[in-house]
Every structure is written in C-alpha cells, then in structure tokens.
Structure 1
Amino acid sequence: MTEEFRTEGHDVYDVIVLGAGPVGQNVADHARAAGLSVAVVERELVGGECSYWACVPSKALLRPVIAVADARRVDGARQAVTGSLDTGRVFARRDHYVTDWDDSGQARWVKSIGADLFRGHGRLDGPRKVTVTTADGARRRLAARHAVAIATGSRPVLPAIEGIEEARPWTNRHGTDSSTVPGRLVVVGGGGVGVEMATLWQGLGSQVTVLARRALLPRLEPFAGELVARGLTDAGARVRIGVQVTALRRPDPAGPVTCTLDDGSELETDEIMFATGRAPLTDDIGLDTVGLTPGSWLAADTTCLVREVDGEWLYALGDVNHRALLTHQGKYQGRTAGDAIGARAAGRPLDDAPWGDHATTADQHAVPQVFFTDPEAGAVGLSAAQAEEAGLHVKVVDLDFTAAQGANLYADGYRGHARMVVDTDREILLGVTFVGHGISELLHSATVAVAGEIPLKRLRHAVACFPTVSEIWTYLLAAYRRDSD
C-alpha cells in the first residue's frame, strides 16, 4: 500500500458499505457479483428504515384499510362488510411483515452473498478507512482498497417550536410501530408520509386532523392533493390548509397535547405526529475526516461518486445524496454504484456492461412515486409546471377515469383523474400523474413510457385490455391525437 494508505491493524476489504438497508444491500450485492470482497456495517437493524419503520410496515397496515374501503365501493360487496377493522389483527399483520423487528433473516442474506457483516456504529477515519464501534465499546478498524459507500439514510426533522420536547410527538417510526389507536391524532405535514399516516390512522379509528402549510402533495400536479384531501374528508378526517403549529403543551405526560396555531386558535389532541421533512444521517459518520461537513447532504455524480473527495473512492447512495428519497430509487442507485465500483476496480470503461452504462439517468427524468392514500396518487416524470419551467414545449392532456369503463366496473362511482404531459417537439411523454382507486399498478407502464421516451405514435399500439382501469391510456392518447389534428 502507499504511504497515504497504511493498513496495519485494519481488516482490508475491496468495498466497505455503511448502512445495511435496501440501498446498502444492493450495492453490496452488485460489488460481490463483480468479484469484490465486501464489508457491511449496520448500527441498527439489517434491512434499515424501509423494512421496519417505513415502506413495509406502513403498507402492511394500510392494505386492510384500503381493502375494506374498496369493498364498500362495490354494491353486493359492501353489504358483506359489517363492523370495524380488527385492529389487533391489523397490527399482527404488520408485525409479521417486519418479522417482529428481528433482522436475523436479513443478516443471513448479507452473509449468503459472501459479505461480512459488522454490527456497530461506523465512522470514516480518513480516506478509505472506517472504524466500527460496537454496543459494548469495542472497536474494529476496516480499510477499503477501492470504495466506501455511504448508505446511512435519513431521519425525521422536528421543527424548533416551543414545547415540542414536552409534547413527545410521533414521527414516522411511531406512526408505523405503535399498536394503540389514539382517539384523536393531529398529523402535521401534507407530504407523502403525512397523507399516508392520516389515511391509516383515520381508517383504524382515530379522529385525524391534518395541518398543512400548503396544499397536500405539493410536488405533484395540483389535482392530486385536492382529490386526496377530498378522500380524507369523506373518510371523516379534518384537513386544514394554510396553518402552522407555533407551540405545544403537554403538562401531564399521560394527558392530551394542546396545539397553538398561527391563527391564534388552539387544538387539543391525544397524540401529534410531525411529518415535516427529513435530514441526512451523516452527522456522526466521520465526514470531517475527509474534508466534508458533518450532517450535510452529499452531492454525487451519476455513478453516485462523491467528486468533492479526491481519489474516486467515496460513494453516496439513497437518501444521503438527496436526489429522490424513495426506496426504489435508492436501490436503483445501489445497483448502479455497485456495478460502477466493479468496473473501476477492474479498470474497465464504465459503459462496458451488458445492461448499458452506469449512469443513474432515471434520477433526473423518470422518478416514479406512489402514495397509498384513498384514492391512491402516483406520478412519474415532470409535472406540467416543471416542464414549462424547463422551457419545454408541452401539451397537457387531462381526463377523468370515468372515461374508462374498466374504472367504472372497478368501483361504483369511481373517482379519479389522469394527466399526461407531452413534449410536442419530440411527441414523447415527459410526465404522467394518476389519482384513483388501484392506480398504483398502472404506474410502471407510465414509467416505461417516460424512461424509454417511447414515441406516442408507437405507444398507441400498446393496446390496453378491456375492461381494465388501464384503458385510460387509450383515451389519453386518443384525446392528444384529436386535439392535435
């Protein structure tokens, strides 16, 4: 080794991965497939936030809520729905899918790919070096020949308001691992986490109030938040837009929380949950030892390489690079980075790969996202406003789902809306947004169309089955063609 990279006293690997969530697992898997030795470091549960406190438990909990709501929208089925949800069984279903917060199965998977798992808190200790501190204070020093990949994820941000510590608010973790239904729940924040948690706990029996500074789902097309707000209201929740919490009081730890709002009013609730943003889990991973700022997001190129650090060895994947805080995008980045690390280690050109180049191009123009509300909301690519801000020539096509007979058969009184944003210069799709019951399974077709830049004249030959909700594609394309003639 060079003078600058002494490894005495270190266990040496080709690649060290900080974080064993789905993102870290993917980069480890692809680096191992390239023949590299890999060490994976995890301070909590192998499987990460997604497996135990986010995507998996939230969807396990939401599915019974949505299934019952769907049944009540179909005559003949609604008559069979009596009583309320069995919350004990709903929580037991969640516990099953998070394996009772036991990560031994995922730990075995890490070992099965030939990677070594180190449990403890990993911190950079200079270029290509990591120190792992275990729960009992023991330390293990690791060194990487080729790469260190940071996949430590993010944490919820709580606002700095008076009384917040006294109030002991919920975060997304409390929202998915709690097994007691509060009589009243205030959800602060109208983004994806906020609207899903509002849907969930209203469905489980809480009286939910949503407080949001802006419209719900503000990053999607405006109609998405409007329809989701209407769905929440129809379910019995209260939605208040344009308000903020300025102070909290909970003098009795077992008593209610009093929220003071910026309009001077007060609101009492049994629990309050903040879904008001995320911050990177990079504050205590040794970034200062390599010239970076602790607690910062990490800028990375399309191979997830951190260019601010010399030597082409530090990678930032998933939430920490702040591109798209979504599990599927992080896993995509993990696969890409793992392949790039393998290619660089072997001295191969980055475009010398059977699956194309090593650029995470989908992070720029084809990010899909679904929110499991009632109705569901999903989108991929650019909104109309984003496309226009980018200076593109666009045409927007809007349709209610009632145009598709399959939607009407799916649910009596089906409520939903679809929009596609077309680049009129190239006649390809720039973005698609769906809001409606069961639309989550439509989104991948839209993602293929946007990511593949499929010409509309070709896309019209992808015939939608009758009678399915996907017929909306036929009507959207026909409307574009009709309006363009």
Structure 2
Amino acid sequence: MTSASAVEPLAYDVVVIGAGPVGENVADRARAAGLSTAVVESELVGGECSYWACMPSKALLRPVVARADARRVPGLAEAVRGPLDTEAVLAHRDAYASHWKDDGQVAWLEGIGAVVHRGHGRLTGPRAVTVTAPDGTEHPLTARHAVALCTGSRAVVPGLPGIDTVRPWTSREATSAKAVPDRLVVVGGGVVGVEMATVWGALGSQVTLLVRGRGLLPRMEPFAGELVAEALREAGADLRTGVSATSVRRAAPDGPVVVTLDDGETVEADEILFATGRAPRTDDLGLETIGLEPGSWLTVDDSCRVEGTPWLYAVGDVNHRALLTHQGKYQARIAGAAIAAGARREGAGPDASPWGPHTATADHAAVPQVVFTDPEAASVGLTLAEAERAGHRVRAVDYDLADVAGAGLYADGYRGRARMVVDLDREILRGVTFVGPGIGELLHSATVAVAGEVPIDRLWHAVPAYPTISEIWLRLLETYRDS
C-alpha cells in the first residue's frame, strides 16, 4: 500500500464524497460555475436511489398500481383479472436499475467535466480527503474551496437475538430480489414497509406486516395510514399493529424464518424485511480528524454548510433534514450555488451564479412526498397535529374524494380523502394531504400553494379543469368558505 503522505495530493476546487443523485447535482452545479470537481464513490455511481430505492421500487410498483387501476374501470376490469407476469415485472425493474451497472452515470459525470475517483473517501483533515482504491492504494486529494459529504443513509436492522443467522432483507434486498418469496414478514409501517408489502403481496407473497405503533405512515395524517391499511388487508395482507418482534431464527440454513413477537405468538416466513429506519453513512468518513463525531447526523445551516466548518458541506440524507431524493437534489442545487458564491469571494469562478438564492427553505415547511401504494398517499407541509404543535392557529378542511366527478370517472368505487390545513391568521395553507388512486400527480399543485404561501383568496382563481380529480381544490375551498 502506498502511503498517502508519499504522494503529491491532487488538488481540485471541490471534492464531493458520494456519487448518488445528491453528489451528482453538487458536482453539476460546481462544474457549471467553472470549478474543478472530483467525485469519490465506493459503490455504484448513481447511488441508492438509482439501484436500490426510488427507481427499482417504483418500477416494481407501477405494474401493481396500473393493474389495480384497470380493475376499477368498466370494460377493462375483466381483461386484467389474471396474475401479474412476475418475470416481466422483475425484468422491468432490472432495466430501470440499469442491471446494477453504472456506465451511463459515470459517462454523465465525466461529460460535465467532473473527475471520478473509485474507492472509499475519508477526511484526513481540513479540506483533505484520502481515497482508498479497490486495489488498496491510497490517493490524497485536496479541496481549494469545499468538501461536500453526500454519502446518504443506510437501513437500520435492530439487534434482535438471532438476527445474525436469518440473513434479513433491508430495502436493498427487497428492491433487488430475483424471486418472489412464498411468505414475507415485513417489520415496520413506514413508507418502505407499506410499499414493499404492496409489491410482494401483488406478486404472490403471503405478507405479514408487523407494526409497533398503532397505525401505518405515522408521519402523515392518520387517515392516510388508515386507508392504506384497509387496502392492504383487502389485498390479503395480515396486518398486525401494536406488536414488536423480540427474536428471530432460522431452524435450518435454508429453512423458514421464525419470528417471536412480544405477545408470545410466532410468525413463520421464507424471508423477513426490516423497514425500521435509517442511519447516516458517516461512521467511516474521518469526521474525528476535524472534531466531529463519526456516525452522527451532521447539523447544517440553510446553505447545507456544516456548522462551525466553513469549507465543509453535508448534503442530502446525512444532514437529516428530509430523507428524500428530491429534497436531497434540491439541497444539492442550493449547496452548489453556495459553494460557487464562496469561491467567487475567494477569487475563483465566474461573476454570477444562475442558480438563485443560496438557502434551502423548503426543508422546513414544504416537503412533498408520495407513497406509491394502492391507494397512493401524498402530502406536503405540516399535518394538523404538527401545525398545532408549532403554535399556528389552524383548521383542517376535509373532503371525500369519491364525491369529486373526476374521481368517479377515474375508477368505479373510488375511495379517497383530501385535507388542507389552513392558517386562520394568515389565510394560507400550512399543509395538504391526498389519499386515493392517481393522486400523486396532484401533489405539485399543493406544493406550489404551500411553498408559495398562496393566499386563499387567490387560490379561488386557480380554476381546476372539469372533470378531473384536481377539482378537489374547488371542493376544499368551498368547504372552507362554508364552514
């Protein structure tokens, strides 16, 4: 192994550790500002989203949801009564995961002028990074202006007795599995848990969903979890709330998993998925060399700069502001602009940035999220309970989506619900939640209303087309006016 101190460091304006969507966007903005940029990646360029999260999970879910929608349309329902073509669904997933090859993403980064370094990157001091390549050699890098940590998060598996013997699934195994297990236990009722229960149940698994709390999707309005739970049960899932796994074991290396619950019962399955939270991938980044705690979430300001460290940025999941790919990419655009502005103050780069203000404000009050189950659940901003805890004087305005003409045309027997949380003092929206088939595409209109703090009296003049599901906006406004 070559000593890092014996090799002249390669110098760049910006060094990005982590080449997922967040790191790619930081690199893109830095390069657009004329800054030389190195990107360090220890796995696949494109990161978690491209290969084990957003893309493969939504590729798996799309056929499931499309079939469910078709089964609710007269004249089409009988034609789609049969099972899904599992082989075709998995092949579709494989294509969207690029068959777990990153040639295209590497070519894109190199095409914008970034330099890709394969290997594990660690800080070794201020503005200093050492890359340990796959062959064990070490390559020191220095950053003239900034280092951006974009290493994301990892799935947390609880330390239950027997966990080391059962080869548990995390989100990675759940989105990349090559075969459908006959029986699947899913532990956790958040987004990953309900989406993967939806997928594998539709592909033929007998799903048992174990939830420690009282319901699903605890970070959304309660009715969102209730409607998704109702649909999962109707699809054949065994949903148990208020229970916890206390131990797991496999009777034989290739035998079933036996899960013991805190109520004394046991559940048997072929595979077990733990969807029980995320932890930052910061445990081996050399944070201790600059006075930070390894394995910790990194606290940042609204430009994503790490507090007390003017040259260090933590962007995406590692800062724990909003663990969503689109929010991480949003932060990356902000951080890239902030880095470019800082470089200009230091005498490098062009005189102007095309990327706008250098503060990430949407992470506080206007975070959108879609859960791609059947029905879909989508929300932006604060729930009623969150708004009340924040001290706002608010009112929840609810409407049954089944009573909107466009919803009835979309599907026979349409079931759904909408809520907007109105700030009564400012007459703006603090949050919006939709649950129902086909509502994911409604969410951006709500995001614009919440992020833009559009006054209620102006929303009356944003006229929804008839007959579409978006007419829910008119119905919500009417309900607010009349209540």
Scaled by the length of structure 1, what TM-score is found? 0.96
Would you say the 8 A contact 1:369–1:378 is kept in 2? yes
Pairwise CA RMSD: 1.5
The Cα of 1:160 is off from its aligned counterpart by 1.1
Cα shift at 1:481? 1.2
Instruction: Give the secondary structure class of the aligned counterpart of 1:194.
Output: helix
Match of 2:154 in 1: 155
1:242-253 alignment runs, 5 A limit? 242-253=242-253
Q: Aligned partners of 1:165, 1:470: CA distance in 2, in Å?
A: 49
Q: CA deviation at 1:82?
A: 3.8
Task: Determine if contact 1:7/1:143 at 8 Å carries over to the other structure.
Answer: no
Whole-angstrom distance in 2 between the partners of 1:345 and 1:33: 13
Cα distance in 1, alignment partners of residues 6 and 426 from structure 2: 54
1:235 matched to 2:203: no
Deviations 1:211-265 (A, max 9, x none): 0011100010000000000010111111110000000110311110110000011
Which residue, 327, 330, 335 being the options, matches 1:329? 327
1:307 matched residue in structure 2: 307
- Distance in 1 of aligned mates of 2:357 and 2:115: 28
Q: Which residue of structure 2 lines up, in the alignment, with residue 139 of structure 1?
A: 138
The match for 2:458 is: 458
CA displacement, residues 86-109 of structure 1 (integer Å, 9 cap, x when unaligned): 100101001111111110000000
- In structure 2, what is the Cα distance between the partners aligned to 1:456 and 1:34? 39
Question: Equivalent residue for 1:401?
Answer: 401
Partner of 1:206: 205
Cross-structure match for 1:444: 444
Percent of residue pairs identical: 65
* Structure 2 equivalent of residue 3 of structure 1: none
Q: CA deviation at 1:308?
A: 3.0
Aligned length: 475
**Matched-pair contact (CA < 8 Å) for 1:366–1:450:** yes
1:25-424 correspondence runs (5 A): 25-214=24-213, 215-309=215-309, 312-347=310-345, 356-424=356-424
Whether the 8 Å contact between 2:33 and 2:353 is mirrored in structure 1 is: no
Matches of 2:237 and 2:55, distance apart in 1: 24
CA distance in 1, matches of 2:7, 2:29: 28
Letter in 2 for 1:436: G
Instruction: Say if 2:127 and 2:142, in contact at 8 Å, map to a contact too.
Output: yes
Note the C-alpha offset of 1:353: 5.2
Deviations 1:97-140 (A, max 9, x none): 11111100000000000110000000001000000011110111
Contact kept? 2:334, 2:355, Cα under 8 Å: no
Unaligned runs of 5+ in 2: none
Letter in 2 for 1:216: L
Query: Is the partner of 1:50 in helix, strand or coil?
Result: helix
State how far apart, in whole Å, the 1-side matches of 2:85 and 2:402 are.
33
Q: Please state whether the residue corresponding to 2:125 is helix, strand or coil.
A: coil
Alignment check: 8 A CA contact 1:166 1:251 kept = no
What do the CA deviations read for 1:354-403 (whole angstroms, capped 9, x no partner)?
A: 55421100000000001001100010000000000111110110011022
Deviation at 1:8, TM superposition (A): 7.5
2:260 counterpart SS class: strand
Give the ranges of 4+ consecutive aligned residues of structure 1 lying more than 3 Å apart after TM superposition.
352-356
**Is 1:401–1:417's contact at 8 Å kept on the other side of the alignment?**
yes
How far, CA to CA, are the matches of 2:332 and 2:346 in structure 1? 19
Provide the C-alpha distance between the structure 1 equivalents of 2:81 and 2:256, rounded to a whole number of angstroms: 31
Tell me which moved more, 251-260 or 374-383.
Answer: 251-260
Aligned mates of 2:329, 2:50 — CA distance in 1: 13
Whether the 8 Å contact between 1:304 and 1:317 is mirrored in structure 2 is: yes
CA contact (8 A) 1:428 1:455 kept: yes
Given residue 150 of structure 1, which amino acid in structure 2 is its aligned partner? L
CA contact (8 A) 1:403 1:475 kept: no
Could you list the runs of 5+ residues in structure 1 that have no partner in the other structure? Answer: 1-5
> Following the alignment from structure 1 to structure 2, what is the Cα–Cα distance between the partners of residues 208 and 75?
29
CA offset at residue 7 of structure 1? Answer: 11
Q: Distance in 2 between matches of 1:471 and 1:175?
A: 37
Taking the aligned partners of 1:27 and 1:219, their CA distance within structure 2 comes to 29
- In the alignment, what sits opposite 1:12? 11
Write the deviation string for residues 337-360 of structure 1: whole angstroms up to 9, x where unpaired. 0000000110199xx755542110
* Cα displacement (A) at 1:429: 0.4
Aligned residue identity for 1:339 = A
Give the partner amino acid of 1:241.
T
Report if aligned partners of 1:13, 1:142 keep a CA contact under 8 Å in 2: yes
Normalised to the residue count of structure 2, the TM-score between the two structures is: 0.97
- CA distance 1:354–1:133, shift in 2 (3 Å): closer
